[in-house]
Structure 1
């Protein structure tokens, strides 16, 4: 069982970047919850743990301490950006990142930008707490700019949020080598031809038809009470005669 730690940036009294009617903390939480739901629903042997599942404030040290204590296989911290001119998407690893973090960043960045499109600001390295203090491979994603009008308009669209979620899920699954769950195929019931008797009933059907109990039509159809009454009546007449 693989354990994925998803950290929704900011929260509670800390809204993160705010502009164009958007608070970064809200986007981060929405994306994080979506990643958990989709990753666990689609892939086998994976559990997703969250720094927060509601709008609460957490210190940075509490986030990484909990992730480290859980022994997570990777950590992804979800954010939106601000102050970037033309906007776009970028990812961050620690300046002295492990090979695991570098590979995770490559997998995530490639998957998210392929789903999201737009301006690719590249894979970067910074001395950020979430990627520095995590004992497992860790990456921080900056998903568009709330203070860039075009990006803000995108972040208000469900299809764009869905693309961001999908990209994270695909990148994480690729890095961990997760296997998709097999959907059980329910057998399709074959509709029988009601005008043809079943093999096991051919002889009996022929016999009761020849004796006049049935008229020989629609042997596979269900019988109503009135039709059954007609059959009983014919049977009684045969007995009385």
Structure 2
């Protein structure tokens, strides 16, 4: 049984980065809970342990001590970034990491970026830094920085469920590949739809609505938010008022 320690950054009185109506601690927890469920539901021989499963505060030392005591095989600390600029995704290992941490970072970073590709997220690269969570853990450890809370374009992505799902799936795929996990037998394999390709039965209508500027032509298979619906309705009303 492989033990995976998922550390949802911040929590409780420590909100982490805050901006654009989002809190880092909330996104970190959502992603962490999603990773646990998806890994345990779909793979054999894995147990996912969480630093926190609710909105509580823990010191950094409490987090790494708990992971070490549990005998976890790997640790992944989930965060969001801040600091402005163009935004994007990046990962960190310790500056003097063992090869196992480098290998974990390589596969985890790659799989998360593959999952984020449809959303145009900037790849800020794989980095090394003297961070507590990757320095004090006894097992291979990587910290992920999942987009920038204070960059409007990144924040808009983080408000979309399909982007959160992509972050979860990228973490799951990276962890599963690194640990060599096997899919559960009998688990139905469903092919995820490519939201960037329009279904054949909707091609004509989609083209018509795109030509008339009701939609921008992107992501025809994505769920529509209330904000996007408001924009479409506004365009319909404006067009009717001009006739």
TM-score by length of 1: 0.76
Matched, 1:65 2:65: yes
Q: Which residue of 2 aligns with 1:120?
A: 123
Q: Which residue of 1 aligns with 2:11?
A: 11
Distance across 2 between alignment mates of 1:78 and 1:177? 21
Q: Deviations over 1:166-218 (max 9, x none)?
A: 00000000000000001178xxxxxxxxxxxxxxxxxxxxxxxxxxxxxxxxx
Q: Which residue of 2 aligns with 1:134?
A: 137
Q: Which residue of 1 aligns with 2:227?
A: none
List structure 1 runs of 4+ shifted beyond 4 angstroms: none
Q: Which residue of 1 aligns with 2:108?
A: 108
Within the candidate set 170, 173, 189, 1:170 is matched to 173
Report if the CA contact (8 A) 2:42-2:187 is conserved.
Answer: no
- Closer/same/farther in 2, CA of residues 95 and 71 from structure 1, 3 Å limit: same
Q: Deviations over 1:82-136 (max 9, x none)?
A: 0140000000000000111000000100000010122000000000000000000
Alignment partner of 2:104: what SS? helix
Within the candidate set 178, 182, 193, 1:179 is matched to 182
Q: Which residue of 1 aligns with 2:52?
A: 52
Q: CA RMSD in A?
A: 0.9
Distance across 1 between alignment mates of 2:107 and 2:47? 19
The number of residues matched between the two structures is 185
Q: How far did residue 28 of structure 1 move?
A: 0.1
Alignment partner of 2:167: what SS? helix
TM-score by length of 2: 0.75
